[in-house]
A and B are shown apart, each in its own frame.
Chain A
């Protein structure tokens, strides 16, 4: 809980100097707001608070300087009074006494200046304490995981395989021991009774007893193995990526983000595969769908839930007639005559390792995680240009899974930042933690994730605490939601947890939630969704086509990729 451990020291008596002092180390910046929801970052996050505190400290320093100046002027005044007293000693005492009170060391200007300086120092210490608390063990674990993974990988495939065999043997041995203990616990013997008691007591406990309870309690020969929480996967992924890098021939120096590097190598592999299959290098073209089969949304969205519902509608699998590889762009006319836009981007629709016609595919996933402008992002760029979005018109980008990654890529692209005013970005189930590019000051991001959604952990990086970026993490096991939201989140099956319908349900729940960071996002979103009198939707379809020998502008909307072209297929 933010601010939980910060204390302000108080003086022992009224006259003593007091100081804004730092108490015990505060907790990390994850704010459990109940109902299975945790919020990170945003306007209510640690970074926003520490920036505020440092701003306040600077103001206090400035106040101290001004008060010291005032005290100096009071000293000048005393000097003038002294000089004048030679000519008018009768009026001296009262004048000197009044100015002495103004300057006074206990309650006068000097005291106020000293206290302002002390408050400034105290605030800076408080801000540092918040920042120290933020540097949690997660960063340390990540570094250790990368180092260990890289080290094991460097031992070579044979040693790694031998280690793997040993680990497998150990796991089998442990499983047989647990199975034997569970069998023994069902016997009417004193040992069986003891094991049963441990199993039952441990099921309601945590720590060592909890582990024993998990191993011995419940039905069946072996204990139930749940999917790891996304945070655990997120911690392991960098180590695994470093291990894979290490396995590659030659020395692989450790890098801070091995996941990005491995994604780049996988892209090269899939490109090589495409070349072997005789696929030519491709480029992306985008065309408006003149008579879209899907039902276009002419109702203006009113909140997060409606926005996510539009994304859900864009999936061909939604059963609402959407074509593959399409993004929808909704034009909103406001009562004051202004225009804003909502761009809805679905996630991965084609899981083939070889790039096909649909740019919303695994290749775009790899491109985005590898830090390259994805083909899917190029589809969105061309669609936005083609729709006629003007630079001064506010845009809300909404995406699920790959769609969220793409939305962040577009928002963080320096060239596109000049071309469009991206006011808000809403991502759901997207691994956007590694996308740390700069956002314009007017852009606010809200990311919805789930503790059971392994996809959000795919980049091996946690979403950073940033005043502009808010992350809401849903723990499906702890939500008290009813209706469709509840059904969508039932169970901790990763597939169900990543489903767009689950995130749509979550978004509708968030619409009813009061939380400072979410409220700040909602305020930004009102610039796009507020006061709408008419809405119309266009649908654009992106396609990968064989790249022409020379660059050709197709239909006036296809062109060079901003932020770096990335045609699929092997170079050349």
Chain B
């Protein structure tokens, strides 16, 4: 799945970046679960039921499917941002002289 091994846009492959690997894993699982849920919802929408209530039911499911479409887009948008964040964290950890988080915070904090 592209979400499982998607390299961050400008930080190179995850390689020995443990935080990025965990993020990729979570993003991939999230994407897979979303795809399965959408398949199930589409199947539930295709029920052979004819009545006025059936129309309303399909409209409700369409709304839910619409929400899921939006979530999918949001996930695609989040992919690069999250991985850039984790890659930056991994890079900071690997940097010579990196001591600990608070040290980094001291130099990057802005009021």
Pick from A110-118, A155-163, A168-176, A538-546 the stretch touching chain B: A110-118
Residue A56, interface by CB 8 Å: yes
Do the beta carbons of A8 and B56 come within 8 Å of each other? yes
- 8 Å CB interface, B25-81 against A: 26-27, 29-30, 33-34, 36-38, 40-41, 43-45, 47-54, 56-57, 60-61, 64, 67-68, 70-71, 74-75, 77-78, 81
In-complex Cβ contact of B47 among A56, A102, A111 (8 A)? A56
Specify the chain B residue showing the minimal Cβ separation from A109: B71
Question: What is the CB-to-nearest-CB distance from A455 to chain B, in angstroms, rounded to a whole number?
Answer: 33
In-complex Cβ contact of A112 among B56, B71, B93, B110 (8 A)? B71
- 8 Å CB interface, B70-103 against A: 70-71, 74-75, 77-78, 81-82, 84-86, 88-90, 92-93, 98, 100-102
Given A20-B57, A70-B33, verify A87-B89 contact (CB < 8 Å).
Answer: yes
Q: Which residues of B have CB within 8 Å of A43?
A: 48
Mark B13-31 against chain A: 1 for CB-CB distance below 8 A, else 0: 0000001001100110110
Do the beta carbons of B105 and A86 come within 8 Å of each other? yes
Q: Which residues of A have CB within 8 Å of B102?
A: 86
Question: How far apart are the CA atoms of A84 and B105 in the complex, in Å?
Answer: 12
In terms of DSSP, what is the predominant structure of the interface of chain A?
helix
Do the beta carbons of B22 and A80 come within 8 Å of each other? yes
In-complex Cβ contact of A8 among B43, B57, B82, B98 (8 A)? B57
Do the beta carbons of A3 and B52 come within 8 Å of each other? yes
Specify the chain B residue showing the minimal Cβ separation from A90: B108
Q: Which residues of A have CB within 8 Å of B45?
A: 56
Residue A105, interface by CB 8 Å: no
Residue B104, interface by CB 8 Å: yes
Do the beta carbons of A6 and B53 come within 8 Å of each other? yes
Specify the chain B residue showing the minimal Cβ separation from A20: B57
In terms of DSSP, what is the predominant structure of the interface of chain B?
helix
Residue A7, interface by CB 8 Å: yes
Residue A74, interface by CB 8 Å: yes
Specify the chain A residue showing the minimal Cβ separation from B38: A63
Residue A49, interface by CB 8 Å: yes
Q: In which size bucket is the chain A interface? A: 35 or more
Pick from A92-100, A135-143, A305-313, A555-563 the stretch touching chain B: A92-100
Do the beta carbons of A3 and B104 come within 8 Å of each other? no
Q: Which residues of B have CB within 8 Å of A77?
A: 23, 26-27, 30, 82
Do the beta carbons of B53 and A7 come within 8 Å of each other? yes
Q: Which residues of B have CB within 8 Å of A63?
A: 36-38, 40-41, 44
Q: Which residues of A have CB within 8 Å of B49?
A: 3, 49, 52-53, 56
Do the beta carbons of A84 and B75 come within 8 Å of each other? no
Question: How far apart are the CA atoms of A55 and B43 in the complex, in Å?
Answer: 9
Question: How far apart are the CA atoms of A173 and B17 in the complex, in Å?
Answer: 102
Given A8-B56, A8-B57, verify A80-B51 contact (CB < 8 Å).
Answer: no
Specify the chain A residue showing the minimal Cβ separation from B84: A91
Do the beta carbons of B56 and A10 come within 8 Å of each other? yes
Q: Which residues of B have CB within 8 Å of A83?
A: 19, 89
Specify the chain A residue showing the minimal Cβ separation from B73: A102
Question: How far apart are the CA atoms of A6 and B51 in the complex, in Å?
Answer: 8
Q: Which residues of A have CB within 8 Å of B85?
A: 81, 84-85, 88, 91-92, 94-95
Question: How far apart are the CA atoms of A6 and B56 in the complex, in Å?
Answer: 11
Question: How far apart are the CA atoms of A112 and B38 in the complex, in Å?
Answer: 11
Q: Which residues of A have CB within 8 Å of B108?
A: 88-90
Do the beta carbons of A8 and B60 come within 8 Å of each other? yes
Specify the chain A residue showing the minimal Cβ separation from B59: A8
Do the beta carbons of A98 and B53 come within 8 Å of each other? no
Residue A60, interface by CB 8 Å: yes
Q: Which residues of B have CB within 8 Å of A80?
A: 19, 22-23, 26, 86
Residue A493, interface by CB 8 Å: no
Q: Which residues of A have CB within 8 Å of B101?
A: 86-87
In-complex Cβ contact of B71 among A81, A87, A108, A115 (8 A)? A108
Q: Which of B22, B45, B49, B102 gathers the greatest number of chain A CB atoms within 10 Å?
A: B49
Specify the chain B residue showing the minimal Cβ separation from A26: B51
- A residues adjacent to B (C-beta < 8 A): 2-4, 6-8, 10, 18, 20, 23, 43-44, 48-49, 52-53, 55-57, 59-60, 62-64, 66-67, 69-70, 73-74, 76-77, 80-81, 83-92, 94-95, 98-99, 101-102, 107-109, 111-112, 115-116, 119, 122-123, 126, 516
A-B contact pairs, 24 of them (CB 8 A): A6-B52, A8-B53, A10-B56, A56-B43, A56-B47, A59-B44, A60-B40, A62-B36, A63-B40, A66-B40, A69-B29, A74-B26, A77-B27, A80-B22, A80-B23, A86-B102, A88-B89, A92-B85, A95-B78, A98-B81, A108-B67, A116-B37, A119-B44, A122-B57
